[in-house]
C-alpha cells in the first residue's frame, strides 16, 4: 500500500508518525509523510518500502514558535488571527498537494491536520484518525481527557465526548471552503468525527500503552490501542551526546531530569528556574534542566550540580537519570515510563493533567503538581518522588510492560487490514 501520514505540531506531535512511516517502510509499504520542514531530520530511512517527506505546515509552525510566545492578551491574539488563519489555509493546501502527489491507499491523520477526513473522502480511500490520547472514542470508564480526570459517572463520561464536535463548529467555514475546492458537499457543523459520510465507522489508531491506561471494555472494534510508537526503534541510529553532558552524567549519581518543553512560552521561565534549583539543592540532588522552547531559563553555567541543556532525545537521556519531572505531554510521559523512571508531572494544559493523573493512579509517581503551586510545592513533591521506593518499583514494572509491546507492528497490521493489503515479504524470506 501507499500511506499518506499527516501531522502537525511540536516534535512530540510528529515523532510518533515518523516512527510509523519507518515501520510501514520496513514492512514493504510506501509512505508520504506530510509534516513541517523543520522535522525533515526525523524522517527515517526507508527499506524495502520508500518514505517521501512532503513539507506541510512550515509557516504555521513558525507562527506557533515565534509569534504565540509574544502574545500578551486577547487583543494581541485577535491581531494575529488573520495571519494564523492564512497559515492554516496554507497547511490545508499543502496537505492536499501531498495527497495529489501520493495518490495513497489510506490517509492517516492527526486531528491537528483538519483536512484528513476530507482528503480521504475526495480520494475515495479510508481515512484513519490517530493521536496518542483516547480523545475521540466515547467510553463509560472516564471522561474526555481534556477535562482532566473528573468524576462524572458512566453516563456523564460518555456524554462528555460530545466535546469533540467543537472542532467542526470552530472550523466549519474553513472545512467547507476546502471541501468545495475538492468538489465535495458541505458537512454539518456537528457532524460525528467517528462516522464516515456513508455511516461506516472511522478507524482510530491510539498509540499509547494499555499498561498506562487499560483499554475500556466498551471500546468498539474500530478503536485500536496499539502501544506506543517510538522512533528510535525504527531509525537504527545512535545519538552522540555533547561532551559536557556525558561528563556530567559520569561525574556523580544519576541526576533528576526537569523539563517543561514549550510550556509557559517563556513567561515565568526565570521563576521556574529558581524554584527548580532550590528544590534540587534542598534535597542534595544533581539535576539536568532542559530549557526546551523557553519553559525554563538556563541555570548558572558554573554550577557543578546542575547542568542546563536545550534538549536531548528522551530515549537516550531517560535511561541515564534517576527520575523525571516534566509537563506531562504524551511523548514525555511515554519516554519516562518506558525507561522505568518514577515521574512527577507538572501539567500546564490540554491532556497533561490527564496523563499526570494516570501516572499517579498507576503508582509510578506522586500526584500532579499544578504550575501555580510550583513555588510552594515542588521541594516537597520532589522529595516524595525520589524518597518513595514504591514509585521506582512500579515505574520499573510499567517500563517492562511497555518495552514488551509492539505498538508499531500492531499499527501496521491494522492499516493492512483496513486497506486489504498484506506485508510485503523481504527477499529470501
The parent domain of residue 380 ranges over 237-403
One domain for residues 183 and 223: yes
| Cβ-contact 132, 29 below 8 angstroms | no
One domain for residues 396 and 414: no
In the chain, what percentage of residues exceed pLDDT 90?
72
- 426 inside domain: no
One domain for residues 182 and 321: no
One domain for residues 222 and 247: no
How many domains, the chain?
2
One domain for residues 60 and 79: yes
One domain for residues 92 and 155: yes
At 106, which CATH number?
3.40.50.2000
For residue 392, pLDDT beyond 80: yes
Cβ burial of 66 (10 Å; 0-12, 13-18, 19+) is exposed
**What does the pLDDT read at residue 426?**
47
Confidence tier at 260 by pLDDT (50, 70, 90) = confident
* Greater pLDDT, 272 or 224: 224
pLDDT in tens, 171-199: 899 999 999 999 999 988 888 999 998 89
Q: What is the mean pLDDT of the chain?
A: 90
- 326 inside domain: yes
**What does the pLDDT read at residue 236?**
47
- The alpha helices in 329-420, defined as continuous H runs, are 330-338, 352-362, 374-387, 389-404, 407-419
One domain for residues 172 and 246: no
CA separation for the pair 299, 284 (Å, rounded) = 16
CA separation for the pair 203, 209 (Å, rounded) = 18
**What does the pLDDT read at residue 427?**
37
One domain for residues 35 and 180: yes
- 198 inside domain: yes
One domain for residues 117 and 243: no
Strand partners, 325: 258, 344
| Cβ-contact 136, 32 below 8 angstroms | no
One domain for residues 161 and 269: no
Confidence (pTM): 0.91
One domain for residues 16 and 127: yes
- 171 inside domain: yes
- 119 inside domain: yes
Amino acid at each position: 500500500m501507499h500511506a499518506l501520514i499527516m501531522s502537525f505540531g511540536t516534535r512530540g506531535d510528529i515523532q510518533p508518525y515518523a516512527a510509523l512511516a519507518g515501520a510501514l517502510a520496513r514492512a514493504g509499504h510506501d509512505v508520504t509523510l506530510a509534516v513541517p520542514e523543520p522535522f525533515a531530520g526525523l524522517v527515517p530511512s526507508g527499506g524495502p518500502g520508500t518514505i517521501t517527506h512532503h513539507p506541510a505546515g512550515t509557516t504555521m509552525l513558525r507562527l506557533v514558535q515565534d509569534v504565540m510566545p509574544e502574545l500578551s492578551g486577547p487583543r494581541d491574539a485577535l491581531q494575529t488571527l488573520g495571519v494564523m488563519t492564512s497559515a492554516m489555509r496554507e497547511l490545508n493546501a499543502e496537505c492536499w498537494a501531498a495527497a495529489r502527489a501520493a495518490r495513497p491507499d489510506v490517509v492517516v491523520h492527526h486531528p491537528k491536520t483538519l483536512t484528513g477526513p476530507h482528503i480521504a473522502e475526495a480520494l475515495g480511500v479510508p481515512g484513519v484518525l490517530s493521536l496518542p490520547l483516547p480523545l475521540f472514542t466515547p467510553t463509560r470508564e472516564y471522561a474526555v481527557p481534556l477535562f482532566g480526570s473528573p468524576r462524572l459517572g458512566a453516563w456523564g463520561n460518555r456524554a462528555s465526548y460530545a466535546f469533540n464536535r467543537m472542532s467542526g463548529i470552530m472550523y466549519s467555514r474553513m472545512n467547507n471552503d476546502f471541501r468545495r475546492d475538492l468538489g465535495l458537499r458541505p458537512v454539518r457543523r456537528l457532524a460525528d468525527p467517528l462516522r464516515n459520510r456513508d455511516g461506516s465507522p472511522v478507524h482510530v489508531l491510539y498509540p499509547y500503552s494499555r499498561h498506562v491506561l487499560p483499554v475500556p471494555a466498551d471500546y468498539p472494534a474500530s478503536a485500536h490501542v496499539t502501544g506506543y510508537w517510538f522512533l528510535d526503534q525504527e531509525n537504527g541510529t545512535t545519538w552522540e551526546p555533547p561532551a559536557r553532558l556525558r561528563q556530567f552524567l559520569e561525574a556523580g549519581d544519576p541526576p533528576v531530569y526537569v523539563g517543561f518543553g514549550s510550556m509557559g512560552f517563556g513567561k515565568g521561565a526565570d521563576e521556574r528556574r529558581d524554584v527548580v534549583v532550590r528544590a534540587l539543592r534542598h534535597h542534595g540532588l544533581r539535576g539536568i534542566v532542559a530549557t526546551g522552547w523557553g519553559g525554563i531559563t538556563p541555570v548558572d553555567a558554573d554550577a557543578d550540580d546542575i547542568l542546563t541543556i536545550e534538549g536531548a532525545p528522551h530515549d537516550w537521556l531517560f535511561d541515564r537519570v534517576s527520575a523525571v519531572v516534566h509537563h506531562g505531554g504524551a511523548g514525555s510521559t511515554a519516554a519516562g515510563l518506558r525507561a522505568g523512571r518514577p515521574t512527577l508531572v507538572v501539567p500546564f494544559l490540554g491532556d497533561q493533567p490527564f496523563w499526570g493523573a494516570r501516572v499517579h493512579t498507576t503508582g509510578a509517581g506522586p500526584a500532579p503538581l499544578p504550575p501555580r503551586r510550583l513555588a510552594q510545592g515542588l521541594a516537597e513533591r520532589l522529595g516524595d518522588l525520589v524518597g518513595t521506593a514504591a514509585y521506582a518499583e512500579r515505574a520499573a514494572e510499567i517500563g517492562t510492560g511497555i518495552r514488551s509491546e509492539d505498538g508499531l507492528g500492531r499499527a501496521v497490521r491494522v492499516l493492512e487490514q483496513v486497506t486489504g493489503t498484506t506485508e510485503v515479504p523481504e527477499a529470501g524470506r
